[in-house]
Amino acid sequence: MTQNRRLVAGFTASGAVLCLTLSADGHGADQYIARGLEQSVPSRIESLREKLNAGFPQSGSGAGEEQIQNIVQFFNFSNCKPTSAKKC
């Protein structure tokens, strides 16, 4: 049995880890290249938020009781964060 593939997609305020899980099948690099140009970026973002909310229906913010920590710096170095939040 092949294992699913996972990418760390973010952290929550309490230090939990949000992962994007992908099927082990059919994910060569070609499938990671962006497509979907028929839809605008805002509408694709809306679809993604809907998908996240569908997975965690308890809250409008996306992850049940867990508020996604929005790490928004553009910086060229990672910001300081409590070490505990970085330990997966």
Contact flag: residue 60 with another protein (CB under 8 A): no
Tell me whether residue 1 or residue 25 sits nearer to another protein (CB atom). Answer: 25
**Amino acid letter at 66?**
E
Pairing of strands 5-11, 17-22: antiparallel
d(CA 38, CA 70): 28
Question: Which string of x and - marks every residue 18-57 that binds another protein (by CB under 8 A)?
Answer: xxxxxx-xxxxxxxxxxxx---xxx-xx-xxx-xx--xx-
Smallest gap from residue 1 Cβ to another protein (A): 14
d(CA 43, CA 30): 23
Smallest gap from residue 3 Cβ to another protein (A): 8
d(CA 20, CA 7): 5
Smallest gap from residue 82 Cβ to another protein (A): 6
